[in-house]
């Protein structure tokens, strides 16, 4: 007879949740933190922000689309280089999670893992990513043009604060992509717990079905 949620011990529930979180985080980081991890994945590929996209359309009309394309490549490569640094913080969040956190994740909706990681790691990850992204984008001449354009847009209210520099925009989009992929891993485990990497994860999420 299949186990129900009430039959699981607190220890099993906590271990199962931590196993699922570690599995999802590791998988998301491994998929994103490689060449093409962002650029070749339409779900997380970082586009030009709307204010700059309008300028890019004009550039393409005059045969200067290559410059805009190079900026897109550089932004996504910066994200790919930053993401591996997330693993330590994600694992640390799992290690220190409370039993209440585990129970919330078990009984909440399909994005509860993503919300847990976002609440626990978004601020420290942004601080960690920002200098890395800045270093990567500083190597690209178009970064300065972006900053000038976005800075002017910010003055007149067209560009909001967190997109006022290229590194802030890319950092925010990198985090969005990371949490999106973690969410996909969570949904996959919930939908097919038998395929989970560990027995305790299968047991816990199987009890939810």
Cα gap 54→28, rounded to integer Å: 32
Radius of gyration over every alpha carbon of the chain, rounded to an integer in angstroms: 20
| pTM of the model as a whole | 0.78
Q: Please, which residues have CB within 8 angstroms of residue 149's CB and are 6 or more apart in sequence?
A: 51, 52, 55
Is a pLDDT exceeding 70 seen at residue 11? Answer: no
- Short-list 188, 172, 46, CA closest to 113: 188
Is a pLDDT exceeding 50 seen at residue 7? Answer: no
Q: Please, which residues have CB within 8 angstroms of residue 181's CB and are 6 or more apart in sequence?
A: 27, 28, 31, 32, 43, 44
Is a pLDDT exceeding 50 seen at residue 2? Answer: no
Q: What is the pLDDT of residues 150-208, one digit of tens each?
A: 555 555 454 554 455 778 888 999 999 999 998 888 777 767 655 555 555 555 555 54
Q: What is the pLDDT of residues 13-66, one digit of tens each?
A: 677 778 778 888 898 999 999 999 999 999 999 998 776 676 666 666 666 667
At 28 the pLDDT is 92
At 180 the pLDDT is 92
pLDDT band at 79; cut points 50, 70, 90 = very high
Task: Give CA 88 to chain center in angstroms.
Answer: 14
| pLDDT (mean) for 124-137 | 88
Which helix or strand (DSSP H or E) is residue 50 part of?
A: helix 50-61
Geometric angle at alpha carbon 172, from 64 and 132, rounded to 5°:
80
- Paired tokens of 173: 């989009």
- Paired tokens of 124: 């420290």
Between the alpha carbon of residue 77 and those of residues 45, 85, 94, 164, the distances in Å are 10, 14, 27, 20
């Amino acid at each position: 007879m299949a186990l129900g949620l009430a039959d699981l011990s607190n220890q099993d529930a906590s271990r199962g949740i931590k196993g699922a979180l570690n599995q999802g985080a590791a998988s998301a980081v491994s998929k994103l933190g490689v060449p093409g991890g962002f650029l070749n994945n339409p779900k997380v590929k970082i586009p030009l922000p709307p204010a700059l996209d309008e300028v890019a359309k004009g550039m393409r009309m005059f045969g200067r689309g290559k410059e805009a394309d190079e900026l897109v490549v550089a932004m996504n490569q910066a994200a790919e280089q930053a993401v591996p640094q997330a693993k330590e913080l994600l694992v640390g969040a799992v290690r220190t999670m409370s039993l209440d956190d585990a129970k919330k994740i078990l009984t909440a909706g399909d994005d509860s893992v993503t919300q847990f990681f976002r609440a626990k790691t978004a601020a420290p990850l942004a601080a960690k990513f920002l200098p890395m992204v800045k270093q990567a984008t500083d190597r690209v001449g178009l970064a300065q043009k972006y900053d000038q354009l976005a800075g002017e847009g910010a003055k007149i209210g067209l560009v909001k604060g967190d997109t006022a520099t290229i590194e802030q925009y890319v950092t925010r989009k990198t985090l969005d992509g990371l949490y999106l992929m973690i969410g996909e891993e969570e949904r996959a485990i919930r939908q097919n717990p038998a395929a989970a990497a560990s027995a305790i994860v299968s047991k816990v999420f199987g009890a939810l079905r």
